[in-house]
Structure formats: C-alpha cells, structure tokens
Chain A
Amino acid sequence: MTAAVVEIRGVSKTFTTGRGPITALEGIDLAIQPGEFVSLIGPSGCGKSTLLRLIGDLTPPTAGSVTVNGKPARQARLNREYGMVFQAPVLMDWRTVQRNVELPLEIMGADKAERARRASAMLDLVELGEFARAYPWQLSGGMQQRVAIARALAFDPKLLLMDEPFGALDEMTRERLNLELMRVWRQTGTTIVFVTHSIPEAVFLSTRVVVMSARPGRISKIVDVDLPQPRTVQTRELDRYFEHITTVREALRRHEGAGPPDERDLEAIRAEGVAG
C-alpha cells in the first residue's frame, strides 16, 4: 500500500470557552489513502468540521499528530498541498470568475499566461468556461460553488478538503453537483475529504464514510461503500445504495441514543424511495 495522504494519530481537540473547556474531538485515528473519497458525517457538534480544519492546519490539535503527504499539516499547508472548499463559495465579488479562479495561482507566483491557462482549464472542467468574464454575483448559488471548486483545484492539489460544500443548495442542484463532483474526482484523481450531514450524499459520493458521534467527537464506525464506479444517476436506484444508507443511519442512531434521525435526511431518503 502506498503512503497515506492524510494520517491522523491520537488526535484530540479541546476548545477553551467562557464556561470551561469543551472537548470537540477525542482519540481520533484515521488514515486516508491516495485517490480515496472519504466523507465525515455525524450530528452537529461531533467535530467533523473541526477534524477537516485540523487536516488543513486552520486550527492546531490539542494532542496527537496530523500528517499530510508525510509532512506535518502545517508544513503541508505552507507547501500548498491541499485545496479548500467551504459551505459558502467565498468568492471575491470585485474579481471576475476567471480572476477568482486565478487567485491561488497569483499568490503562488504563477505567471500570467500560466494562470490564464490553468483557470480556463478548471472552468472548463466545471463547465463554466463561458462565464469566465462574469462576476460572481451574476451567477446562481450552484454555479458559484462550482467556481469555488475550480479555484480549489486550480493549482492541482493532491488533496481537496470540502466542508459541507453543497449544504446551502437546494436538493436538485445538490444532486447535479454530486454527479459533477464525481466526474471531477475521476478526471483529476484527487483525494477528497468531504464533510456533510446528508446520509444519501455521503453514501453516493464516498468510497468510505466515517461516522462520528458527539460529546466528545469520536469516530464510531467506518463504512466501506462498495458501490460500483463510476457513480451515476442509476447508482441511487441500487439496492446496495439503500443498504449502505441504512448502515450509516443505524451507526448514527446507535450513538445518538433514542434520538430521532435528522429530519432532512429522512425526507431525502423518502424522496429517493419514490424516485426509485
């Protein structure tokens, strides 16, 4: 087996607040291999976003170690080895779409021709080539998020960190972007770590789903999703797909006690059932 892209060992994270320390993560061990698509899923407050931010060195762990491409997370960040996509597109509305995608390349010192070449290649990848000269506020929410993905991939990082990137979008846009993300993932071979709280989304996209529980945030189960590649519209109609959804949901529920599952997930599954 090749060296892991992400290796997390004995990580815990404690936040100090006005009402005393809060343990967000405890005893996390996780290794992510090249080319994997790993989803982190769990109830709010389980620390899934915090775990993603630890990998990106946007916040330091209280204990344990995080290595990315065999280097400490901080070094990997300084070497610009990962791209980041947030729930909001976070585009700069004084820049055109093209110039937004060029932003990381500018900071990394690429010359003008190289920037233009990479940016148009990435915009073509997310099928927004004709909007290069538009401004972000002229695009829909889904298109803005695709620009954010193009920007994150612009400097060809080996690792893509995505923090609920489609969480703010409507269900139809989300499913279309899920398909598109699958295509991008196949074409680029990038390793992706993906935070979500939608069970169907996690199952549809991932090769592995990491189920987390809250207070303190721990990994409660890792589900291998052996659905065939490439994932397509038909994937959502497979029996195996529903079985995986049930497995993940039960893993979530077991650690939630008697708490009801997320209403939004229930609705999404019901919609799936009708469609199938």
Chain B
Amino acid sequence: MTSATTLARGASGSGREALAAVDNRPSRRTRALAMLALFGGVLVVWELAKWLGGDPWRIHTSLFGLPIDYEHFPPFKWRIATDLALPHVWRIVGTFFEPAQRNGPPLAEVLFGNAVFTFGEAFAGFVMGAALGLGLGIVFAQSRTAERAFVPYVVASQTVPIVAIAPLVVIFLPIGWLAVAVIAAYLTFFPVTMGALRGLRSADPRAVELMRSYAASRVEVLRKLSLPSAVPYLFASFRIAASASVVGAIIGELPSGIPYGLGSSILNFKQYYVSGPEKLWATIIAAAALGLVFVGLVRLAEALVRGGRGSLVR
C-alpha cells in the first residue's frame, strides 16, 4: 500500500505543476529546462544518498586492457539507501529492457500493455466521475440551500479512504474493468463537483443582471452564461480528476484480482520485491507517466475547446 500512497502524492503533485505552468505561461524552453533540472537533481540526490549510506559495491573489469578494480565502502549505513530500498538508478532503467519473466517480453512492453489497460479503466472512471460531478455541481449551483445541505455529504464521501470502499465495490459489481472504473469515478467526481460549483458561480454578477433584464429562463442562464463561464474552472478540475482517476484505477485493481493493469503489476512485483526491487520502482514510474499522459490529454482537449472560443489567448 505504501507504494500506492507515494504514487497518489506524485500524481497529484505533477497535476498541480501543470496547472501553474499554464497560468504563468513561461516559455516552452524555460519549462523544459526547469523540468530537466529537477529531474537531474532528484537523480543526483538519489545516487548521493546511496554513495554516502548505501550498500558497498565493487567494479572488477578491464578497460582497453587496463584492469579496473574499485571497491566503494559508503561511510554510513542508512536503511533507506540500501539496494533493497533504493535500487541504483541504472538498475531501474535497465530493468525496463530486461524480460520481466524468464523468456518473456521485456518489462517495458509488459508495463506498457498494463498501462493501456489501466488507462481504459481510468478513462471510463473519469468520464463517469466528470459527468456525475458536473451534474451535482449544476444541482448545487441552483440554490444555496442545496449547496449547504448536500456538499457536506460530498466532502464526507472523500474522507472515507478509497481502500475501504474499493473492496465493497468489487463485491457489489462483477469483477472487471467496470468495478475498477467505478472506484476511479469515486475519486474523480469530487474535484469536478467543486470545480463546477465554483465555475458556475463565477459568472460576472452584472452579466447575471443582464440575463435578468432579458427575462432569461434558468436553463438559458445556465446554457448561455454559467456553463461557458465555468469552462476554465472545469478544465482545472478535470486535470486534477485525470490524475486522481489513474490512482483510483490502480487502487481499484488491487482488491479485484484482475491479472491486467498496473495494479496487478504492483501486487506482483511487491510480492517479489526482495528478488527485484527495481521492477516495482519501474512500475511506479510507469504509473506516474500514465498520469502525466492523461493530464496532457486533458490539456490538449482544453486547448481545442477554449481555443475555438478564443479564450486561450486571454
């Protein structure tokens, strides 16, 4: 479970980064450089920790006929820096290209297939959650009473840990992608509800008066003013929901016992962690990458939708 929690934090963190990048609009190059610098920094800290407090290692080889024999004994002994807890970066990179099982395809291929499967579930969950969230947001936006009466339930639903809900859903629904998608939807409807509620209320109060002066009906105000005003808020919440849906799908896969998906990879590699810790790390990277790809797709959709309305340039 620890790995899943790390994953959750990592995924939502990257979502927020993407959000900030859109709002401040630094140049593409600055962004790429900053991302590379952070990535490089993490690698340096990672290997530095291993150099200082990891397991001893030895190089015994020859280069151009020159024998090399080097042994490194780190001055400290930290539990978190052992090869079991923190495999070398090159071990993790290398494991992508090694077969996951004897005579099987390379791990990268296995993880890619599983990531595609998990994406399917996450996407279905995202669509269901977004539809539910938007519906609830529209209902709550109609009256303060509805908002005050029902929003606490929505908030409460999110304080129940998803790991407690997931086994129940798996019992209620036939085991399969649908149950997993429902679990993903459970995590995605919340940010969309809140984003929709805020966005629908964000319309210029003078524009609301203008609609009143036209004696516009509630539905017309919603269609012609509130919903279009909510679009930027909706997409911000969609980005959060996209990364949350990946987390939800992976957590949903854990108790369902489906032999596909990144969740099954996590269970599998956790079980054999002692013999190949780098495989679990590789799976975590695959999951984070899936989250990034999903958030990227949402941003692409936003550019298409809002670009057509001309708001992107604003």
Interfacial residues, chain A to chain B (CB-CB below 8 A): 56, 58, 77-80, 82-84, 86, 88, 90, 92-96, 103-104, 106-108, 135, 137
A137–B313 touching, CB < 8 Å: yes
Question: A77 — which chain B residues lie within 8 A by C-beta?
Answer: 212-213, 215
Given contacts A83-B213, A84-B210, A88-B204, 6 further A-B contacts (CB under 8 A): A77-B213, A84-B209, A96-B310, A103-B214, A107-B220, A108-B214
Using Cβ atoms and an 8 Å threshold, which residues of chain B touch A90?
Answer: 204, 206-207, 210
Q: Which residue of A lies closest to B210 (CB)?
A: A90
One digit per residue, 1 when the CB lies within 8 angstroms of any chain A CB and 0 when it does not, for chain B 219-241 equals 01000110010010000000000
* Interface SS of A by simple majority: loop
The distance in angstroms between the C-alpha atoms of A83 and B213, with both chains bound, is 7
A87 CB → nearest B CB, Å: 8
Candidate in B214, B216, B309, B314 with the most chain A CB atoms within 10 angstroms: B214
Interchain CA distance A88-B213 in the complex, whole Å: 16
Contact in complex: A104, B214 (CB < 8 Å): yes
Shortest C-beta distance, B220 to chain A (Å), equals: 5
Q: Count of B residues near A, CB < 8 Å? A: 21
User: In the bound complex, how far is the Cα of B181 from the Cα of A155, in angstroms?
Assistant: 49
User: For residues 156 through 186 of chain B, which have their beta carbon under 8 Å from a beta carbon of chain A?
Assistant: none
Assuming A80-B214, A82-B213, A84-B213, is B207 touching A92 (CB within 8 A)? Answer: yes
A104 to B220, CA, bound (A): 11
Are the CB atoms of A58 and B224 closer together than 8 Å?
Answer: no
Answer whether A94 and B210 are a contact pair too, CB < 8 Å, given A107-B216, A135-B310, A137-B313: no
Q: Are B309 and A94 in contact (CB under 8 A)?
A: yes
Do A80 and B209 form a contact, CB below 8 Å, given A94-B309, A94-B310? Answer: no
Q: How far is the CA of A90 from the CA of B209 in the complex (A)?
A: 10
What is the chain A residue whose CB lies nearest that of B213?
A: A84
What's the least CB distance linking A27 to chain B, in Å?
26
B207 to chain A: closest residue by CB: A90
Contact partners of B224 in chain A: CB under 8 A: 92, 103, 106-107
Min CB gap A137→B, angstroms: 6
Closest to B309 in A: A94
Does B142 have its Cβ within 8 Å of any Cβ on chain A? no
Do B310 and A58 touch (CB < 8 A)?
no
7 smallest beta-carbon distances between A and B, as pairs: A94-B309, A135-B310, A84-B213, A90-B206, A78-B215, A107-B214, A107-B216
CB distance from A260 to the nearest CB of B (A): 31
List the B side residues contacting A83 at CB < 8 Å. 213
From residue B206, how far is it (CB to closest CB) to chain A in Å? Answer: 5
Cα distance A104–B309 when bound, in Å? Answer: 19
* CB pair B206 A94 closer than 8 Å: no
Q: In the docked arrangement, what's the CA distance between A166 and B209, Å?
A: 19
Interface status of B311 (Cβ within 8 A of chain A): yes
A96 to B308, CA, bound (A): 11
Q: How far is the CA of A95 from the CA of B309 in the complex (A)?
A: 7
Residue of B nearest to A74 (CB): B215
* Contact residues, B218-265 vs A (CB, 8 A): 220, 224-225, 228, 231
Interfacial chain B residues near A135, Cβ < 8 Å: 310
Taken together as a complex, chains A and B put the C-alpha atoms of A93 and B213 apart, in Å, by 19
Minimum distance in angstroms from A247 CB to a CB of chain B:
33
Q: Distance (Å) between the CB of A239 and the closest chain B CB?
A: 39
Query: In the complex, what distance in Å separates the CA atom of A137 from the CA atom of B310?
Result: 9
Task: Kindly provide the distance from the CB of A206 to the nearest chain B CB, expressed in whole angstroms.
Answer: 22
Give the docked Cα–Cα distance between A94 and B223 (Å): 13
Partner of B310, one of A79, A93, A107: A93
19 contacts between A and B (CB under 8 A): A84-B213, A86-B210, A88-B204, A88-B206, A90-B204, A90-B210, A92-B228, A93-B314, A94-B228, A95-B309, A103-B224, A104-B214, A106-B224, A107-B211, A107-B214, A107-B215, A107-B216, A107-B224, A108-B214
CA distance A232 to B78 in the complex (A): 87
Residues in A neighbouring B309, C-beta threshold 8 A: 93-95
Residues of A within 8 A of B220 (CB): 107
For the complex, give the distance between the alpha carbons of A90 and B62 in Å.
76
- Which residues on A sit within 8 Å (CB–CB) of B207? 90, 92
Please determine whether A86 and B214 come into contact, CB atoms closer than 8 angstroms: no
Asked whether A93 lies within 8 Å of B215 as measured between CB atoms, the reply is no
- Residues of B contacting A86 in the complex (Cβ-Cβ under 8 angstroms): 206, 209-210
B244 to chain A minimum Cβ distance, whole angstroms, is 27
Residue of B nearest to A87 (CB): B206
Q: In this complex, what residue of A is CB-closest to B212?
A: A58
What residues of chain B lie closer than 8 Å to A95, measured between beta carbons? Answer: 309
Q: Of B210, B228, B231, which is in contact with the most chain A CB atoms at under 10 Å from its CB?
A: B210
A53 nearest in chain B by CB position: B209
**How far in angstroms is the closest Cβ of chain B from A224?**
29
User: In the assembly, what is the distance between CA of A93 and CA of B211, in Å?
Assistant: 15
Least CB separation from A157: chain B residue: B213
For residue B310, which residue of chain A has the nearest CB?
Answer: A135
Report A-chain residues with C-beta under 8 Å of the C-beta of B204: 88, 90
Cα–Cα, bound, A84→B214 (Å): 9
Q: Is the CB of B311 within 8 A of A94?
A: yes
**Which residues of B have CB within 8 Å of A56?**
213
* Least distance between B228 CB and chain A CB atoms (Å): 5
Q: How far is the CB of B171 from chain A (nearest CB, A)?
A: 45
A104–B214 Cα distance when bound, in Å, is: 6
